[in-house]
Structure 1
Amino acid sequence: TMETAPDGSTRRIFIQLSDLSGFAVVDFAQRKEVARIQFPDQPNGYGMAEGRRETPSHGLAVAPDNKTLWVTSVFANGVFVYSLPELKLLGHVALPELKLPGRAAIGALPNWATFTPDGRLLYVTNSAIRSVSAIDTQLMKVVANIQVGEVPKRINTLALR
């Protein structure tokens, strides 16, 4: 996903890499990687399904106002929020768990993320629990979980006028 400058040009690109529990930062003008941001160790402990071991983080979204970057984490079962342009960690939004009798809780297995055009809500697909979480970006809290059917992964926003 991209961060833009005030004139609308691309400033930086944020990229999720296989086997990195975090993301890489590419300076667009220099055309080179300038940083790798590792997620904090806590919260953690959520397992990953077979076939997803190389992708502990899979969804990135820059808020429409260009002030925050939201990044999903399978291991933390949530979304980490970073300030832009500083990339300072602002917080973590926990996603729902699946609790089965006699078993450890299963994380949501978050995938892609997308904002409403006004930036008030962020929607995150939860492929393990067949839902989409709506996150209030001001409160940094899940305000709704919408059941959607089998294995939701990709998501985008379309605004009709």
Structure 2
Amino acid sequence: FDTTILNNIRLGNPEASDEEVYWAARQVKLHDLIESLPDGYHTSVQETGSRFSGGERQRIALARILLQGAPVIVLDEPTVGLDPITERELLLTMFEALKGKTVLWITHHLAGAEAADRILFLENGTIEMEGSHKELLQENPRYQRLYQLDAPTFRM
């Protein structure tokens, strides 16, 4: 949204204090970057967030989520379009920042799947595979093949 970084993050909770916004930015590892900008938290995000990289925009969105304080979080393709290194860093931050919350993570990409407690594969509205990453990797040839094809460049 074309507003300041402070107000953009605050969209997650319009009643949040500046200190709460700073806390959320620290949790998603953006605070130092924001502070290094000439106008700090008062820097304009610009329309569609064009001032920031894809990973930085995702971190801003994650900071908004943290301010909401919701116990259940739904993330739909949170790493789409990110390079493998940025994806890895964002996933690590995401799992750390959302620890203790229930996360429904919708994705077509298996990077980070090993961090999930439970994996459900839906196909044509039907659950085709279900289990932990370890169980599916040991027992399900289709999952093994898909995981191998996706070839994650890192392990959580």
TM over 0.5: no
Provide the TM-score with structure 2 as the length reference: 0.26
Structure with a larger share of its residues in helix: 2
Higher relative contact order (CA 8 A, sep 6+): 2
Q: Structure 1 or 2: larger strand share?
A: 1
* Larger Cα-atom Rg: 2
Q: TM-score, normalised by structure 1?
A: 0.25
